Structure 1
Amino acid sequence: MKIFKRLLLTITAALMLVSLAACGQAADEPVKIGHKNFTEQRILGQMFAELIESKTDLTAEVTEFGGTNIVFEALKSNEVNIYPEYTGTAYGSILNQTELNDPQEVYDYVKNTYKEEFNIEWGIPMGFNNTYTFAVRPEIAEEYNLKTFSDLSGVASELRLVAAIEFLERADGLPGVQQTYGGFEFKQITPMDPGLRYAAIDQKESDVMDAFSTDGKLIEFGLVVLEDDKQFFPPYYAAPLLNGEFSEAHPEVAELLLTLADQISDEEMQQMNYEVDNLGTNEREVAKKFLQSKGLID
Structure 2
Amino acid sequence: MVCGMVFGGCFLGCAPPRSSRVTIGAKNFTEQVVLGELLAQEIEAVTGQRVERRFYLAGSYICQQALVSGRIDGYVEYSGTALTAILKQPLPPVGQRDEAQVFQTVRRLYWQRYGVKVGRGLGFEDTFAMVIRGDDARRLGVRTISDAVAHAPDWRLGVGYEFEQRPDGLRGLEATYGLRFKDAPRTMDLGLLYRALQNEQVDMVAGNSTDGPIRALGFVALEDDKHYFPPYEAVPLVRADSLQRHPGIQVAMDRLAGRVSAEEVQGMNDAVDGQHRDVGDVVREFRKGKGL
- 8 Å CA contact 2:124–2:233 kept in 1: the answer is yes
What are the within-5 Å matches in structure 2 for residues 6-25 of structure 1?
Answer: none
Give the aligned residue type for 1:125: G
The yes-or-no answer on 1:161 pairing with 2:155 is: yes
The residue number in structure 2 matching 1:80 is 72
**Number of residue equivalences:** 265
What are the within-5 Å matches in structure 2 for residues 190-229 of structure 1?
Answer: 191-194=185-188, 198-199=194-195, 201-202=197-198, 208-229=204-225
The residue number in structure 2 matching 1:129 is 125
The residue number in structure 2 matching 1:267 is 263
Mean Cα deviation higher: 166-175 or 274-283: 166-175
Structure 1 residues 147 and 259, CA, compared in 2 at 3 Å: closer, same or farther? Answer: farther
Mean Cα deviation higher: 193-202 or 131-140: 193-202
The yes-or-no answer on 1:49 pairing with 2:49 is: no
Give the aligned residue type for 1:54: A
Superposition CA RMSD, Å? 3.2
The residue number in structure 1 matching 2:137 is 141
Q: 2:228 aligns with which of 232, 235, 243?
A: 232
- Residue 261 of structure 1: how far off its partner (Å): 2.4
- 8 Å CA contact 1:157–1:185 kept in 2: the answer is no
Structure 2 spans left out of the alignment, 5+ residues:
1-18
- Residue 142 of structure 1: how far off its partner (Å): 3.8
What's the TM-score, normalizing by structure 2?
0.74
Structure 1 residues 32 and 185, CA, compared in 2 at 3 Å: closer, same or farther? Answer: closer
The residue number in structure 1 matching 2:14 is none
Partner SS for 1:272:
helix
Does 1 or 2 have the higher relative contact order (CA < 8 Å, sep 6+)?
1
Q: 2:50 aligns with which of 48, 59, 62?
A: 59
Deviations 1:17-51 (A, max 9, x none): xxxxxxxxxxx943222223332222222111211
Partner SS for 1:247:
helix
Give the aligned residue type for 1:108: Q
What's the TM-score, normalizing by structure 1?
0.73
Q: 2:175 aligns with which of 179, 183, 191?
A: 179
Deviations 1:186-211 (A, max 9, x none): 6x557435466545543567654432
Structure 1 residues 142 and 51, CA, compared in 2 at 3 Å: closer, same or farther? Answer: same
Partner SS for 2:156:
strand
Mean Cα deviation higher: 231-240 or 117-126: 231-240
The residue number in structure 2 matching 1:113 is 109
The residue number in structure 2 matching 1:281 is 277
Sequence identity (%): 35
Structure 1 spans left out of the alignment, 5+ residues:
1-27
Deviations 1:184-235 (A, max 9, x none): 456x557435466545543567654432323333234211112223321243
- 8 Å CA contact 1:85–1:241 kept in 2: the answer is yes
Give the aligned residue type for 1:127: G
Deviations 1:264-297 (A, max 9, x none): 33333333222223322122112111222223x2
